[in-house]
Every structure is written in C-alpha cells, then in structure tokens.
Amino acid sequence: MRQDLLLNNVMNSIEHNLNFIRREIGDQAMLVAVSKNQPSEAVMEAYQAGQRVFGENRVQELLLKHPVLRPDIQWHLIGHLQTNKVKYIASFISMIQSVDSLKLLEEISAQALKNDRVIDCLLQMYIASEETKFGLDEGEVNDLLISIRQHPLSGVRICGLMGMATFTDDTDQIRKEFRGIKSFFNKFRSEFFREDPSFNQLSIGMSGDYLIAIEEGSTIVRIGTKIFGNR
C-alpha cells in the first residue's frame, strides 16, 4: 500500500476502532454503529470504512441524517419511540429495536402497510436494575405476544428481543442480566415462534459490555462510544 494511504488509514480512528471491534466480534453478532449525537461526517467516515448499519435513538436526529446520507444505509431505531412519530420513519426504517407497547406495535404495523412494507421489530425488555430505562417485563411481553397471536399484525415482523444491562462495573451482574434476557428469548421462541424462524435476534451489548453479551448469546451489538469516541 502507498505510504500516504497507509498513514491516512492509521490516523483514521473511526476506521481503526471499527476494524478492531469487527475482529473481536467476528461473525458472531451483527454490529450496529450507534451514531446518536455524532455529526453526519462521522457517519460517513464509518460508511467509508464499510459500515452500513447505524443506530439512532431520536427520531428528530434520524430525520436530519437520513436524507443527507447514503441511501444504502440501514437505519435502526434504538430509543424510545412515540406513537405519533412512527409515520415519519415508516418509509425507510430498517429495524425498530425499541418496541415497548402493543399500541406502538399496532401503529408501526399500520404505517408499514401504508408504505407497502413490513417493518422488522424487536421487543425491548427491561432487564437493568436502574429505574429509568424503558422496556417490557416478562408478563408484558407474554401478554403482547398472546394478543398478536389472536389479532396478527401484518405490517410487522417480530425478530426478537432487545435489552440494556445496568450501567455498572460489576460484570457478574451484567452477565446475570444478559442470561436472564436470553432465557426469556428461548422461552418466548418456543412458546410463540415454533413455526416462525424470523424470531432469531437478541440485541444485547454496548461499548462497555459487548464481549460479555456475545458470550451470552447476543446476535446484535449496538456500539457507539467505542467507535466514535465520547458524545
């Protein structure tokens, strides 16, 4: 490789970080690059390094970035979504990882059908010990799945579960929380998705805990800080 290109690569830290993380996770999990609070230039740098899947947690920010960035980017929504905002993203969103109510799921389905598409969704489960995080508990997921078994929603595909562990240095606690959501995943899959192979994703793991998450069965990791630096 030419020396100037080599130097350029070494100095491009987003590319460097991406390559480092890719080597660590191998083909065990899909990497969602979480670009919230990062400028479009940073997204483009990651794009140039081959990244195509990006995660945003706010609709407003997503709506600013989506039209100015490349059309082959797959955008995942990973933050709380208000029902009245679904219509703004339904035409292009690749996956909504943060579904936390039946009402929201019904609206996603309705808006997807208006756009002649089916939107991939994950149900967000509450697994952390903090009180501030959104998500469903085991009983609520169960009720939701019973309800859509009775009244199927043809505009959505339930692809699995998403969860965030407690923000702590206690790796035993993090591991315990990941094991918990993995066992819910197995249980719901065998109770509700025996005939439906699309329920196959477990989105756990962020910058501080993705290696533990992969050991515990993650199929999607959502990493921001470790790629882009501090927000």
Ligand X SMILES: *Cc1c(COP(=O)(O)O)cnc(C)c1O
Q: Check residue 223 for interaction with ligand X (CB under 6 A).
A: yes
Q: Check residue 119 for interaction with ligand X (CB under 6 A).
A: no
How far apart (Å, rounded) are the C-alpha atoms in residues 114 and 128? 36
Map residues 143-182 to x or -, x wherever contact with ligand X holds by CB under 6 A: ---------------------x------------------
Residue 171: CB atoms within 10 Å: 13
Map residues 15-54 to x or -, x wherever contact with ligand X holds by CB under 6 A: -------------------x-x------------------
Are 208 and 191 within 8 A, CB to CB? Answer: no
* Region from 6-14, 40-48, 151-159, 220-228 binding ligand X, contact rule CB under 6 A: 220-228
Q: Check residue 206 for interaction with ligand X (CB under 6 A).
A: yes
How far apart (Å, rounded) are the C-alpha atoms in residues 39 and 35? 8
Q: Which is nearer to ligand X, 14 or 78 (CB)?
A: 78
DSSP one-letter code for 41: H
Are 97 and 76 within 8 A, CB to CB? Answer: yes
Q: Which is nearer to ligand X, 41 or 195 (CB)?
A: 41
* Region from 17-25, 66-74, 115-123, 218-226 binding ligand X, contact rule CB under 6 A: 218-226
Contacts of 159 (CB under 8 A, 6+ apart): 95, 120, 121, 122, 198, 199, 200, 201
